Copies of this chain bind each other. A is one copy, B any other.
Amino acid sequence: MKIRIGIMGYGNLGRGIECAIKQNDDMELAAVFTRRDPETVKIMTEGVRVYRAEEAASMKDDIDVMILCGGSATDLPSQTPEYVKYFNVIDSFDTHAKIPEHFAAVDAAAKASGKIGIISVGWDPGMFSLNRLYANAILPDGRDYTFWGKGVSQGHSDAIRRIDGVVDARQYTVPVESALEAVRSGSNPELSTREKHTRECYVVAAEGADKARIENEIKTMPNYFADYDTTVHFISAEELKANHSGIPHGGFVIRCGKTGANGENDHIIEYSLKLDSNPEFTSSVLIAYARAAYRLNKEGVSGGKTVFDIAPAYLTAQSGEELRKHLL
């Protein structure tokens, strides 16, 4: 019997989950839930229905793991503790500062229901967090560096779009190559915000808009751009669509550490991602952890979990024997 996956929310992430399920023979899409009118939501998988979000609880016996594809700001803080009453759930909650309280709420509800809720799954938080943990455990005398990009930041793109006279915009976060090289050299550099990343903006201005003012408003925007070297390119709507409609991302987690009787030996651990589609890669991570949630819950495990709590073997459909033979 296949693992029956439910998708709550059918945006970029939900569509990514649907694609990822097709790559995993031990899984099947059971249902998609939406807050929109289900009649208006067209999915790719034949024979699978779209339901109203309110119908989910009544389908608790039809779904093994519900993947919550809502946003961290307003959806997940209420959705994850709610749906873990009925299902094993996975979310990609990424508001770092609020992880402790989100975890506490999910853990309490999951313990009460006997289900598993794995929060903050994806690549950061997620795979990057795992790599920080492994590298810290191995090299306690060391220093962490995380770089993001080159990739599209949705939040920064939105911030530009709110400026008067801007029709559309796309913002790329770009790691500074010389900073990366300094870190890789083992020189343990102290790097300011400005030295680590630059910001590249592609902006479609309204006809007759004052481009100099727009550029200035972008470059001086507090929190978003003021602390960075920012480049602004004005382009046409057609160019934006043709060259900037993808959602690539990626980044680097690097730890430099010392070992030896007198710390005389340097070591560099580096993990990097180069992703054509941020939401599809995130979906692929979510699906692997959905398998783990299902298997662990079958073994009687319940409660709130993060990627730190899951033994890697649970992520794959292969047996321990196969893994030891082929991947160890």
Q: Which residues of A are at the interface with B, using a C-beta cutoff of 8 A?
A: 16, 19-20, 23-24, 44, 96, 99-100, 103, 120, 125, 127, 129-134, 136-141, 184, 259-261, 264-277, 280-281, 283-285, 288, 291, 306-313, 315-316, 320-321, 323-325, 327-328
- Given A100-B325, A273-B269, A308-B323, verify A283-B261 contact (CB < 8 Å): no
- A-B contacts, 10 of them at CB < 8 A, read A20-B259, A23-B141, A129-B328, A133-B315, A138-B281, A138-B284, A138-B285, A260-B280, A309-B311, A309-B320
Residue contact B281 to A267, C-beta cutoff 8 Å: yes
Residue contact A328 to B134, C-beta cutoff 8 Å: no
Q: A265 to chain B: which residues have CB within 8 Å?
A: 275-277, 280
Q: How far is the CA of A217 from the CA of B256 in the complex (A)?
A: 40
Q: How far is the CB of A168 from chain B (nearest CB, A)?
A: 22
Residue contact A276 to B281, C-beta cutoff 8 Å: no
Q: How far is the CA of A136 from the CA of B99 in the complex (A)?
A: 27
Q: A137 to chain B: which residues have CB within 8 Å?
A: 288, 291, 312, 315-316
Residue contact A134 to B277, C-beta cutoff 8 Å: no
Q: How far is the CA of A327 from the CA of B141 in the complex (A)?
A: 16
Q: A271 to chain B: which residues have CB within 8 Å?
A: 131, 269-272
Q: How far is the CA of A273 from the CA of B265 in the complex (A)?
A: 13
Q: Nearest 8 CB-CB pairs, A to B?
A: A265-B276, A137-B315, A259-B280, A265-B277, A308-B313, A137-B288, A268-B274, A311-B311
Beyond known contacts A269-B271, A308-B328: 16 more, CB 8 A cutoff: A16-B259, A44-B261, A127-B134, A129-B328, A130-B134, A133-B315, A259-B277, A260-B277, A267-B273, A267-B274, A269-B272, A270-B272, A306-B323, A306-B328, A308-B313, A308-B324
Q: How far is the CA of A89 from the CA of B260 in the complex (A)?
A: 23
A99 partner, pick from B24, B99, B134, B324, beta carbons under 8 A? B324
Q: How far is the CB of A300 from chain B (nearest CB, A)?
A: 14
Q: A264 to chain B: which residues have CB within 8 Å?
A: 276
Residue contact A125 to B277, C-beta cutoff 8 Å: no
- Given A261-B44, A328-B96, verify A133-B267 contact (CB < 8 Å): no
- Given A96-B328, A139-B284, A141-B23, verify A308-B311 contact (CB < 8 Å): yes
| A20 nearest CB neighbor, chain B only | B259
Residue contact A100 to B321, C-beta cutoff 8 Å: yes
Q: A315 to chain B: which residues have CB within 8 Å?
A: 133-134, 137-138
Q: How far is the CB of A71 from chain B (nearest CB, A)?
A: 18
Q: A131 to chain B: which residues have CB within 8 Å?
A: 271
Residue contact A324 to B276, C-beta cutoff 8 Å: no
Q: How far is the CB of A221 from chain B (nearest CB, A)?
A: 28
Q: How far is the CA of A308 from the CA of B283 in the complex (A)?
A: 22
- Given A260-B280, A308-B324, A324-B99, verify A133-B19 contact (CB < 8 Å): no
